[in-house]
A and B are shown apart, each in its own frame.
Chain A
């Protein structure tokens, strides 16, 4: 039973026609600002979205040689396929495209830096995500923002989709609801469910951190780690760090009120409103440090910030409190909490952000297309934390082979050879974990991943070459 206060908080603004006057004014203001977009990519996004009318669509996978073929693809021939699947549901993975289909689902409650903009507002973002899945991972991703009210409706909606999918990508769902949604769906569904804001960010952060630690001659166990921000990203990062061997007693997590510890004034509030934060408050911070970022950073080896827009959210004199050869990641998008030159000037040796115009881009797109490629090819029932950690290690290993430096700790996105490698690793991990329906060998996994990803590239190439997909105007 959830306490009344929590239910009251969850009642949201109704979207669409039932807007209050105040919301309508805010939306109109924002729209007015947009008609004069400040930067180039915003201008292009508006113009090109209109020009193309959709970033992804449905394309046939089979030939239609004549209208007679429909008696095979549709009635009466298709009945035989349906009956076979009725007798054994897992055959749907063999006889349909379900094995390679992933729904990109959101309720639009926390989209990028924009907040609760609703499902229609989230649609362009989900389309973009689907495009990345398809281009980098060869996955048939379908954008599906849904008008659902609250956790129960969202969970029901996603569960109901299971029969047509190989996996689900949850996106842009507000915390702390997103934690419970992910946990419940992972438990109750027989296909992988993934919240990229959680596991994706945590996975790539881990990969970058593995190499940064090695570069600065540190071990994960024994390093003092500060996680600034206790939202989807860092809550997942804390869990994966501990599962990889980090000592929770050496981890300090901060939210907007400061360091999480068991005697903070609002600790009982946290028990009822955000039990993930509550759990972290009790398990971590063995020295029971209290206060804010300054207190946390004294003697810290690693800082992972996923807290909010910079560029001055974190100050130079705060980084200076860290140990020598400090590692600092600033993950906020589009403006990191601190810019790399500042951090370096303050003494940090290895710095990463989510931006492509600085070295060490911690980008989820390095991970989720490859993770799904690997999971889908073995028809995995779930993506376990171990699979994510194995994928992170593979990403790190790939970069290591090329030679890690303070400006290169994870692969860049143009190093396309990394995707099938990570996919193969994830497939093998799934087999070892006993969650794979199809037990492929590493060689098979790799070959299939290469094949499927190349297939996607070939399609893109052919469509552009034949002028079916035109280049944008101007």
Chain B
């Protein structure tokens, strides 16, 4: 398995994986119900990411097949140090390819890339109830930084 930067040809595969992440989040939390046109939005999302200098899109491939994706952006924290963040927005590996240390490799690879882009701290955004993601990051020495509380009537 290889890990490399995503290219235009990967757009459809990557979008598919992102749709899967969103659906998985819905499994954990009904307040993350997925919009009906999620596929179109995912395609657009990937397209704008691919062009951007301050965004990162890495894919893991086995042969011609895209089996994992990690998307991140460079952001600035206005009031706090360290202020340059490498912000992981999406991370997904197909079930068949999990439990093979690929997740670790992808995070390491992404962190290294983000640091060359200037990141002083790596952060990842996951829904609070996604236990799989929570466990994954805690195991690698990350801790919760901010809580977004929500209420819907």
Q: Which residues of A contact B (CB under 8 A)?
A: 1, 3-5, 262-263, 265, 267-269, 271-273, 278, 281-282
Contact = CB atoms under 8 A, between A and B. Distances in A.
Interface residues of B, number: 12
B122 interface: no
Contacts of B129: 3-4
15 contacts: A1-B131, A3-B29, A3-B129, A262-B95, A265-B23, A267-B20, A267-B95, A268-B20, A268-B23, A268-B24, A269-B23, A269-B24, A273-B27, A278-B95, A281-B95
B75 to A, nearest CB: 28
Given A4-B29, A268-B20, A269-B27, 6 more contacts: A3-B27, A4-B28, A5-B28, A262-B96, A267-B20, A271-B95
Contacts of B121: none
A256 to B, nearest CB: 18
Given A268-B27, A269-B27, A3 B131 contact: yes
Interface of B: 20, 23-24, 27-30, 94-96, 129, 131
Contacts of A268: 20, 23-24, 27, 95
Contacts of A5: 27-28, 30
Given A3-B129, A4-B129, A282 B95 contact: yes
B69 to A, nearest CB: 14
B94 A3 contact: no
9 nearest CB pairs, A to B: A262-B96, A268-B24, A3-B28, A272-B27, A267-B95, A282-B96, A262-B95, A269-B27, A1-B131
Contacts of B29: 3-4
Contacts of A265: 20, 23
A268 B17 CA distance: 11
Nearest to A279: B95
B68 to A, nearest CB: 13
A238 to B, nearest CB: 17
Contacts of A281: 95
Contacts of A278: 95
A11 to B, nearest CB: 14
A271 B29 CA distance: 15
Contacts of B131: 1, 3
A262 B94 contact: yes
